[in-house]
Amino acid sequence: MERLSVSVVYFSPTRTSAAIARAIAAGMGNVAVKEYDITCDAPESIRLDSDIAIMAVPVYGGRVAETAVERLKHVSTSVALAVPVVVYGNRDYEDALLELKDIIGEQGFVSLAAAAFICEHSYSRPEMPIAEGRPDAEDLEKARNFGATIVAKFAGIKKGKELLPLQVKGNYPYRVKGTSAPIAPVVDAEKCLLCGVCVDLCPVDAITIAGDKISTDPVLCIKCCACVKYCPEDARSFDTPYTAMLHEKCKLRREPEYFV
Ligand SMILES: Cc1cc2nc3c(=O)[nH]c(=O)nc-3n(C[C@H](O)[C@H](O)[C@H](O)COP(=O)(O)O)c2cc1C
C-alpha cells in the first residue's frame, strides 16, 4: 500500500489533546504526518488533502470546547476520512464526540473511527488532583494501538469494504451547557515577572500587559488554564469550587472508549 498521509489537527490549550492525537498518529506506523495546531491561531482556511485526519479537541461542559468549534469551521476537506477524538478530564464527555463528528461532517469529513480519551483535568491542582498525570504511559499505548486499528480499517476500505456510517456515543439534542460566571485566573503580583508567556499561550488573547500591569479579561477567558499550567513563576492560579467537587467525585479511573 502507498504511504498514508495523515493530518493531525488539534485545539489543545494544556496540550493533552495534542499528546493523544500525536500518539494515535505514531501508532499508525510509517505515515507522512502534518500537524495543524489551531489552539492559538484562528486559521483563515485549511483545506486538508491527506488520506486521514485526526481531529482532537477538549471537552468543556460535556460539549466540544466552544473556541474549537469556531476554529474547526475553517478546516475542511473533500478527500480525507476523519478520526474525531475528544479528550476529557475523567468526569464525562457526554455529547462532545457526537458533536465533533457532526461539526467536521459539515466540513466534508466522513468519520472512519472515533475515540474518547482521558487527561488531567484543567482544574486539577497538586493538592486536589483530578486524573493527574494523564494521559499516562498506558493511555498513550492505547492511543498508539488505536492508531494501528485505524490503519487496518482504512486498508479494508481501500480493498473495497463498505464504509458504514460511524455510530458514536452521544444524544440529540446535545447537552445544554450551564452558564458560567465571567471569572479568570488571578495573578500573584509578587511572583509575576511580566514575561508574557501567558499572553502568548492564551488561545483567545484575554491577557494583556500594559506597562507594569497584567490583566486578564474575564469575559474573554475560556478558563482553559494554559496560563496557570505553564507560568514559569507559578504566579497564576484559578480557584473554582469545581476543583474540590471534581476531585471528590471523579476519583474512579475512566478508560478510553473507541468507535470503529
Ligand atoms: C471550562 C472547562 C470545562 C470542562 N468540562 C469538562 C467536562 O464536562 N468533563 C470532563 O471530564 N472534563 C472537563 N474539562 C476538562 C477538560 O476536558 C480537560 O482538561 C481537557 O481535555 C484538556 O485538554 P487540553 O489539554 O488539550 O487543553 C473541562 C475543562 C474546562 C477548562
- What does the pLDDT look like over 34-60, one tens digit per residue? 999 999 988 889 999 999 999 999 999
- Where do we find the cell 489537527? 9
Q: Is the CB of 15 inside a 6 Å radius of any atom of ligand 1? A: yes
Q: The C-alpha cell of 99 is what?
A: 458533536
pLDDT at 94: 98
Rg (C-alpha) for the chain, rounded Å, is 19
Angle at 99 between CA 10 and CA 71, to 5 degrees: 40
What is the pTM for the complete model shown?
0.98
12 lines ligand 1 (CB under 6 A): yes
Show the cell assigned to 76: 475542511
CA of 155 to the centre of ligand 1 (A): 33
Q: Contact 255/118 with Cβ under 8 angstroms?
A: yes
User: How far is the centre of ligand 1, averaged over its atoms, from the C-alpha of 116 (Å)?
Assistant: 12
Contact 56/12 with Cβ under 8 angstroms?
yes
Assign 1 a pLDDT band (cuts: 50, 70, 90).
low
Q: How far is the CA of 121 from the centre of ligand 1 (A)?
A: 6
Ligand 1: centre distance to CA 46 (Å): 25
Question: What mean pLDDT do residues 135-157 have?
Answer: 98
Is the minimum distance from the CB of 224 to ligand 1 under 6 angstroms?
yes
Give dist(CA 93, CA 96) in Å, integer: 6
| Gap between the Cα atoms of 66 and 180, Å rounded | 13
The residue behind cell 508567556 is 197
CB 128 within 8 A of CB 97: no
State whether the beta carbon of 229 lies less than 6 angstroms from ligand 1: no
Mean pLDDT of the 145-169 span: 97
| Closest CA to ligand 1's atom 12 | 89
CA of 103 to the centre of ligand 1 (A): 19
CATH, domain 186-239, list 3.30.300.30, 3.30.429.10, 3.30.70.20, 3.40.50.1370:
3.30.70.20
CB of residue 59 inside a 6 A radius of ligand 1: yes
pLDDT score at 99: 98
Contact 120, 16 (CB under 8 A): yes
* Architecture label for domain 5-173+252-259: 3-Layer(aba) Sandwich (3.40)
pLDDT band (50, 70, 90) for residue 2: confident
67's grid cell:
473556541
pLDDT > 70 fraction of the chain, expressed in percent and rounded:
100
What's the CA-to-centroid distance between 30 and ligand 1, angstroms? 31
Task: Count CB-CB contacts under 10 A for residue 153.
Answer: 18
Question: Band of the pLDDT at 120, cuts 50, 70, 90?
Answer: very high
Task: Say if residues 169 and 257 touch (Cβ distance below 8 Å).
Answer: yes
If you count them, how many residues does the chain have? 260
- Give pLDDT, residue 61: 96
Neighbouring-strand partners of residue 32: 5
pLDDT in the model for residue 20: 98
Give the pLDDT band of residue 178 (cuts 50, 70, 90). confident
Ligand 1 contact, 57 CB (< 6 A): no
Segments making up each domain of the chain, as ranges: 5-173+252-259, 186-239
pLDDT at res. 97: 98
State the Cα–Cα distance between residues 155 and 219, nearest whole angstrom.
Answer: 47
